[in-house]
Structure 1
Amino acid sequence: MRIESLRLKNYKSFRDAEMNAIPPLAVIVGANGTGKTTLFGAFGFLKDCLIFNVSKALQARGGFRELLSRGVGSDACVEIEIKFRLEISGVERLVTYSVSIGEEKGRAVVRREILRYKRGRHGQPFHFLDFRAGSGYAINNEEDFKSDEELEREEQKVAPDTLAISGLGQFERFKAANAFRQLIENWHVSDFHIDQARGSKDAVGMDEHLSASGDNLQLVARNIYENHPKVFQAILQSMQKRVPGISTVTPKLTDDGRLLLQFKDGAFTDPFIDRYVSDGTIKMFAYLVLLHDPTPHPLLCVEEPENQLYPSLLGELAEEFRAYAQRGGQVLVSTHSPDFLNALEVDEVFWLSKRQGYTHIHRAREDAQIAAYMADGDQLGYLWKQGFFAGADPQ
């Protein structure tokens, strides 16, 4: 399952913008304030709407008026549309999910929520889920493709500020809704903090996935170390290539029941605990743990991975992101690094620009000049520094 396109309307600086034909690895560049963080934030917003409800998701972001684009009418809606590919009845189909969120008498309301896809080669997409302000229906036998008359509509009611897929997506009989709910629940927007990743942690439990902040790095490393030794060995081999002197990394259980990481420098007998290794070493290890996850997230969003890392490492890190995507986890990355861009293909890069306060999305492969230079063997990072990404630089 892979996201094919994303459209944002009236969402902060995105008055009406769309990313189409999103590749497995998509990298976004742009000046500060053009909307890179806002773009990634849309995924986090939708996830919070699902896990909690729309009211709580809006409250965490300052309310509906803070999410709504400046300059639009107060009766306007925030709209998010995602198209993703999903195999249904042995056929890969392009499924569209769209949600329109407004405000009535100071309260958030889901004005329209639709999940649709074509049942055959021809005709209009069929609505398998359609709700307005808390009332609607879902098809509970959507894999029955004999005739429209045999489809069973199940009428439902939900709270006006609740997504229908939040409840219906828990049931496997609503196949597309169930798949989309799992996609949202399991996508990962990284907000890594080195200070939270350091130090000893309570050794209770064994986490499978790295948290957004990285504060459970020790627990995830121990899980891979004990249950996926070949994967952990691959992480060590990558660390040895990227960080001079590092020979081993070992999750260590202390006498008082805490867990920490020990980094062994081949030149010394005694290992260092993670509190005393460099920021770059911690961050590289955390990225390798994230990108070698035995069960990749369906969507991984990472902002500015180049921070604290030596420039020559960024090309190899780009390859790690691409390998993760090839294993089944789609990746979106924002960056300010020409070195990172130099490792990318022309169809993997988008850039953002701002005109009259609103964000616009451009694609490198659709710019004839950039495409021609790349065909002649140039690199995207150099082209960006030379100003070929119109509007991507501070004005």
Structure 2
Amino acid sequence: MIKMKIEKIRIKNFKVYREAEIRDLPNMCVFLGANGAGKSTLFEVFGFLSDALKNNVKNALNKRGGFKEVYSRNGEGDIEFEIKFRNPEVDGKRQPLITYELSVGMDPNKQPVITKEILSYRRGNRGRPYRFLEFSHGKGNAIINESEFETAKQEFKEQREEQTLDSPDILAIKGLGQFQRFQAISSFRRLLENWYVSNFQIHAAQNIEDTGLSEHLSTTGDNLAQVTKFIYENHIDIFKTILQKMSERVPGIEKVEATETIDGRIVLQFSDGSFKDPFISRFVSDGTIKMFAYLILLYDPKPHPLLCIEEPENFLHPELLVELAEEFREYANRGGQVFISSHSPDFVNALEIDELFWLTKEEGYTKIARATDDSLVRTLAAEGDKLGYLWKQGYFKGSGPKS
């Protein structure tokens, strides 16, 4: 599994983020903070962009209460997003850094409009960026000989094509991203289309479902039995890996099956070595169901380029959180990217310092701090102090409801 990697996010005038950015993002990022600090809003950036891609910016805003509800209080200028990402290496060669910029404002008729949409490449750290796509108010252009960019090097001569969109609130990447010749646009479009934010619900995952095919776990987990059956029937080696991991993570679990009933429904069954008969999912512990669902998600044969997981510690025994962190890290090391929010010191204890960020609020706006940038936290962690204990002791200033 090799996916693109997001290296920087900048947000301006989006809810609690009046001006914030994170640079040099690792493949696994964990965000701490008090309730209301902005952890969910950080994930919502991708949800907003995804909704804008599927429909338009106006729809994405209305889904969140309209422009006024999304716009930061007392903000100045447009809503702005900047995402820097890099595609996978090709033949061992690092690919150029790609920057996507989007600004959203209001026209004289108080209708949302895209005031700026730019996708650019930069060759090396100092090379001049090439704007492969540049649109404003529904008009712009895109380079159509992108494939020559790397081979031609400094002799690259761009060929541009003018385009006019149907409406000034439509993303240019929505249409152009469907064409293979616009490779960078297509890759970013796939990121937004295939990102995954977990809203896992135990009762939904315990459902007895109608038969049918589901290749990917839904955000609520309500198709867990169908996906289990699909992986077992089509990717048996992956299923064996999941089962092996399950037996390591939850003692006693020897077998998991998705079986079809006489009336044509699918039942998820777990076999415990201590008992003769298997348990159907509704009688299995919440923690067992949740761990199995995460393994199904993390070993998806066609994994998501970005996972956003909120509070994975819910329903899990504290002793399992170290192992769950290891599973997320293994997914990241295989080439995926995972953003996680947590309120659990036990989960944080399993982290490496470069994976950890915390959110603070100053005068009503959210700032993002990196654990490695705090000299005291860095020193204590190097001496062997666990990050979760440091958090409980108040070393992450501003990360708690009383600090």
Q: TM-score, normalised by structure 2?
A: 0.94
Fraction of identical pairs, as percent:
56
Is the Cα contact below 8 Å between 1:296 and 1:327 reproduced in 2?
A: no
Question: C-alpha separation between the residues in 2 aligned to 1:214 and 1:111?
Answer: 38
Alignment partner of 1:127 is 2:131: yes
1:203 is matched with 211
Instruction: For residue 150 of structure 1, report the CA deviation from its aligned partner.
Output: 3.1
- List runs of 5+ in structure 2 lacking aligned partners: none
Provide the residue aligned with 1:230 in structure 2.
237
Q: Which residue does the alignment assign to 1:140?
A: 144
Checking the alignment, whether the CA contact within 8 Å between 2:96 and 2:124 is kept in structure 1 is no
Whether 1:168 and 2:172 are equivalent positions in the alignment is no
1:312 and 1:88, CA in 2 relative to 1: closer, same or farther beyond 3 A? closer
TM-score by length of 1: 0.96
Which of 363, 375, 390 in structure 2 is aligned with 1:368? 375
CA distance in 2, matches of 1:32, 1:156: 44
1:68 matched to 2:71? The reply is yes
Name 2:299's counterpart in structure 1: 292
The residue type equivalent to 1:271 in the other structure is P
How far is 1:322 from its partner? 0.4
Secondary structure of 2:367's aligned partner: strand
Q: Does the C-alpha gap of structure 1 residues 265 and 123 become closer, same or farther in structure 2, counting only changes over 3 Å? A: closer
Which residue of the partner structure matches residue 118 of structure 2? 114
Structure 2 Cα separation of the partners of residues 88 and 152 of structure 1 = 25
CA drift of 1:390 comes to: 0.5
Q: Once the 2 structures are TM-superposed, how far is the Cα of residue 8 of structure 1 from its aligned partner? A: 0.5
| TM superposition shift of 1:185 | 1.1
Query: Do structure 1's residue 313 and structure 2's residue 317 form an aligned pair?
Result: no
How far did residue 238 of structure 1 move? 2.2
Q: Which amino acid aligns with 1:165?
A: I
CA drift of 1:295 comes to 2.1
Which stretches of structure 1, 4 residues or more, deviate above 6 A after TM superposition?
none
Deviates more, 1:179-188 or 1:144-153: 144-153
Provide structure 1 residue ranges, at least 5 long, that are not aligned to the other structure.
none
Deviations 1:181-221 (A, max 9, x none): 1111111111111122121112122x221111111111111
- Contact 2:147/2:181 (CA < 8 Å) preserved in 1? no
Number of the residue aligned with 1:29 = 32
SS in 1 for 2:256: strand
CA deviation profile, 1:213-256 (whole Å, cap 9, x unmatched): 11111111111111122221222222223323322110011111
How far does residue 268 in structure 1 lie from its aligned partner after superposition? 1.8
Matches within 5 A, 1:1-395: 1-73=4-76, 76-86=77-87, 91-104=94-107, 105-119=109-123, 122-145=126-149, 146=152, 150-158=157-165, 159-205=167-213, 207-395=214-402
How many angstroms apart in 2 are the aligned matches of 1:61 and 1:256?
41
SS of 2:186 mapped into structure 1: helix
CA distance in 1, matches of 2:228, 2:12: 40
Contact 1:190 1:302 in 2 (8 A): yes
The DSSP-based 3-state class of the residue aligned with 1:209 is coil
Quickly say closer, same or farther: Cα 1:118–1:262, change in 2 above 3 A.
same
Query: Counterpart of 1:150 in 2: which secondary structure?
Result: coil
In 2, the alpha carbon distance for the partners of 1:88 and 1:249 equals 37
